[in-house]
Copies of this chain bind each other. A is one copy, B any other.
Amino acid sequence: MKRKICVVVTARPSYARIKTALEAIRAHSDLELQLVVAASAVLERYGDALKYIKADGFDVKSTVFMVLEGENLVTSAKSTGLGMMELATVFDNLKPDMVITIADRYETLATAAAASYMNIPLVHMQGGEVTGSIDEKVRHAVTKLADYHFTCTEIASERVKKMGEHPEHVYTTGCPSIDIAASVLKAPELNFDPFLKYGGVGAPVNLKDGYVVVLQHPVTTEYELSRKHIIETLYGVKDADLATLWFWPNVDAGSDGTSKGIRSFRESERPGNFHFFKNMEASDFLKLLCNSKAIIGNSSVAIRECSFLGVPAVNIGTRQSGRERGKNVIDVDYDRAEILAAIREHIAGGKRKRSNIYGDGNAGVRIAELLSKVELHFDKKLAY
C-alpha cells in the first residue's frame, strides 16, 4: 500500500516552496499525495494559490476557509486556532501516514499541532532558520512538534540538532523553491509580457532600460510601524527613479498598514514608473527577477532564490535578520536614504556570484525519496 502523504498549503509563497516536492510525491510509485489547501491560499485577495494549484493539475482533497477578517494580532491567533480544529477533522477523514507542514507562517502551527496531537508523523520543511518576528517563534515551536526535519541549509540542520532534535531525523534537503529557480536559470529570458499576463494597477512601465522589483511585507512584532516602514521604501525607490514593479504583500497582521501606505502614496504621488501586481506564478516571478536590476524589500525570495540566481538584493529592516545569505544582499534600515544608496550601489555593481546555500535544484525528488523511505514514528524525546 502506498504511503499517504498529506501536504497542507496555506499561502501563495508556501506553494512555491513545496511545488516540486508535490510533483515528485505525485510521481513516486510508493507515495500517494493528499493535498489540502487552506487559509490565505484559498482567498482571491491574497493571490488565490488554489487557482494556480489546480491549473498545475493537482487534485485537491479538501479546501478550508480559516482566516478571520481584521488582519491584526487577535485574528492571527484565532485563525490558527480555527485551522487547528478544522485540520483535525480533515486529517481524521483522510487518515494520512505522514503530514508535511511548511516553514513558519502563523497558521503553519495549526497543521503541525493537529498532526502531532493525532500521532501522525510530522515533517517540517525549512526549520532551523533564523529571522525576526513571530515567524521565529512559530518556526522553532514547529521544530519541537515535528518528527522529521527537512531543512534548506547545513547551518539550519545544525541549529535543529542543537535544539535537541535527534540527528538521524534531520535531513538537509535544500529548498524546493530553488528547484524552480534552477529550471528558470536554464531559460531565463523574459518570454511573457507581465502587464498583459497579470494586469495589475497602474500603466505599464518601460522594462527595456532595466527595472527593479519590490516586495515588502509588514513585520508582525512591529505592527504599528508597518505604514511608516512602507513609506520609507516607497520614497527610497521613487528617488532611484527606475521602472518599478511592486508586489502586494501577503496576508498578515499589519498588512492593512502596509496597504494603506501604498494606497496613500499612489494617491498623492501618482508615480508614473511604478506598476503594482498582486501576484505572479512562481516561475514567471523568478524570470522577472532574473532580468531585473535588483529586488528591494524584505521578502525571503531576495535571500533564497536570488542568492541562487545571483540577483542583487536590498534587504530592508529586521524581517530577514538572522537568515543566512549569499553575496547578493545589502542590508539597510527602514530609511529612505539608505535604501536609495543601496539600490545605486547594486545598479553600479551588476549581477552577483551565485550560491548553492539554499539548495542545488534537486530538493523535490530528494524529499519524495525520503518520504518513501523513512521509518514511521511519532514519539520523540529531547536529545539531551
Q: Which residues of A contact B (CB under 8 A)?
A: 40, 42-45, 62-70, 72-78, 80-89, 91-93, 106, 109-110, 113-114, 116-119, 130, 132-134, 136-138, 140-145, 159, 162-164, 220-221, 223, 251, 253, 256, 321-322, 378-382, 384
Contact between B93 and A62 (Cβ–Cβ < 8 Å)? Answer: yes
Cβ B93 vs Cβ A85 within 8 A: no
Which of B40, B87, B382 makes the CB contact (< 8 A) with A140?
Answer: B382
B80→A384 contact, CB < 8 A: no
Task: Find the B residue at minimum CB distance from A142.
Answer: B141
In the assembled complex, which residues on chain B have CB atoms less than 8 Å from the CB atom of A384? 159, 162
- Set B68, B83, B137, B251: member contacting A67, Cβ < 8 A: B68
Contact among B75, B84, B87, B380 for A137, CB-based, below 8 A: B380
| Oligomer: number of copies | 4
Q: How far is the CA of A202 from the CA of B251 in the complex (A)?
A: 27
Given A136-B380, A140-B164, A379-B132, verify A77-B84 contact (CB < 8 Å): yes
**CB-CB < 8 A to A130: which residues of B?**
381-382
Asked if B78 and A89 make an inter-chain contact with CB atoms under 8 angstroms apart, the answer reads yes
Residue of B nearest to A112 (CB): B141
A333 to B92, CA, bound (A): 31
Contact indicator B144/A73 (Cβ below 8 Å)? no
A88 to B82, CA, bound (A): 11
* Complex interface: chain B residues within 8 A of A86 (CB): 81, 85-86, 89
User: Is B76 touching A117 in the complex (CB atoms < 8 A)?
Assistant: yes
Query: Which residues of chain B are within 8 angstroms of A44 by Cβ–Cβ distance?
Result: 256
A134 CA / B223 CA spacing, docked (Å): 33
Bound Cα distance from A65 to B67, whole angstroms: 11
- In whole angstroms, what is the CA distance A45 to B220 when docked? 19
A85 — nearest CB in chain B belongs to which residue?
B81
- A70 and B84 in contact, given A62-B93, A89-B65 (Cβ under 8 angstroms): no
- What are the residues of chain B within 8 A of A93 when measuring CB–CB? 62-63
Task: Name 23 A/B residue pairs within 8 A (Cβ), A-sorted.
Answer: A62-B93, A65-B74, A65-B78, A65-B88, A65-B92, A68-B82, A69-B69, A73-B117, A74-B91, A78-B85, A81-B81, A81-B84, A81-B88, A81-B110, A81-B113, A85-B85, A117-B134, A130-B381, A130-B382, A132-B379, A136-B381, A141-B145, A322-B381
Q: Which of B45, B117, B142, B159 contacts A80 (CB 8 A)?
A: B117
CA distance A275 to B140 in the complex (A): 45
Knowing A136-B382, A382-B136, say if A114 contacts B164 (CB, 8 Å): no
Query: In the complex, are the beta carbons of A117 and B113 less than 8 A apart?
Result: no
Find chain B residues with CB under 8 A from A220 CB. 119
Indicate the member of A82, A87, A132, A381 with the most B CB atoms within 10 Å.
A381
Q: How far is the CB of A186 from chain B (nearest CB, A)?
A: 36
Once the chains are docked, how many angstroms separate the CA of A143 from the CA of B93? Answer: 31
Please, which residues of chain B bring their CB within 8 A of the CB of A322? 381-382
